[in-house]
Structure 1
Amino acid sequence: MQLNELSGSTLAYIGDAVWSLLVREYLVELGYGRAKDLQRLSVQFVSAKAQARFYEQLHDAGQLSEAEEEIFRRGRNFKSGSVPKHTDVQIYRISTGFEALAGWWHLSGQQERLRKVWEQVRTSVKLAAEQR
């Protein structure tokens, strides 16, 4: 597989799955088991607004390399033709760029980088479950 040939949407597709798995594992580790709770809490990590905020935190802190910013732009600039009902187009595109980054880190074998970003993001979201 040639990573440079994958579209932003393909990277985002993989990234969505990778990011969702990190979130699900984390919530289960915290002791949640009911589907209703898992879904409600996961939104704090997988919603377009949350992912756009995570990207902006990384970007504003200068924590992304030029190569990572390029991957982000590849995902962000992909025109899907549809946007979820309750999401601003700009927010949706930024979140797609963030998902493309997660997909790129995973597919390029940068698991340590992915985990480092995950830990940073995870600690920025305060869940009541962490008080358990």
Structure 2
Amino acid sequence: MNLFSKDGKVFTRKDVMNLSPLIMAFIGDSVYDLFIRTNISAKGNRPINKIHRECVKYVKASSQSEILKNLYDMFDEEEKDIIRRGRNVKSATIPKHAGIEEYRLATAFEALLGYLYLLGRYDRLDEILNYALNYNINEG
């Protein structure tokens, strides 16, 4: 069951494939952000600015891009197709803190997360999210 859908609907593949990759990325961004915030916050009470800084390490475009590149070989052809669509979509947004290639790869990563979420593929989504959480983020 889709946790946040009013009617508990899990979308069909056809429904999701008819969505713009930007909509998938829009959903995926929220899924990823909530997952990271929840898991970082679960480490215990700390000043909120420290929690925020730790979360930003994971959700910034350069980190998402790095994670996607490192995971790429574990994706099946269907997932790679979503990644390709997310990477190639034209966005009106101009990245402020990332290069265009990093931004496109981050959008692709978010599109994949949104795709998996909307289809109700929570086990696969959880596998990818936990890899991201446990990935040693390059802070340089």
Q: 2:60 pairs with 47, 56, 63, which one?
A: 47
- Using the size of structure 1 for normalisation, the TM-score is 0.88
CA deviations on 1:32-63 (whole Å, 9 max, x unpaired) are 4532112101112100000000100011xx10
Q: Percent identity?
A: 33
CA distance in 1 between partners of 2:26 and 2:105 (Å): 14
Q: What secondary structure does 1:83 align onto?
A: coil
Number of aligned residue pairs: 124
**Secondary structure in 2 matching 1:107:** helix
Cα RMSD of the aligned pairs, angstroms, is: 1.3
1:67 Cα deviation (Å)?
A: 0.3
Unaligned ranges ≥5, structure 1: 127-132
TM-score, normalised via structure 2 length: 0.83
Report if the CA contact (8 A) 1:13-1:103 is conserved: yes
SS of 2:74's equivalent? Answer: coil
Q: Which runs of 4+ in 1 moved over 3 A?
A: none
- 2:7 maps to what in 1? none
Moved more, 81-90 or 1-10: 81-90
Which residue of 18, 30, 46 maps to 2:43? 30
**What residue is the counterpart of 2:71 in the other structure?**
58
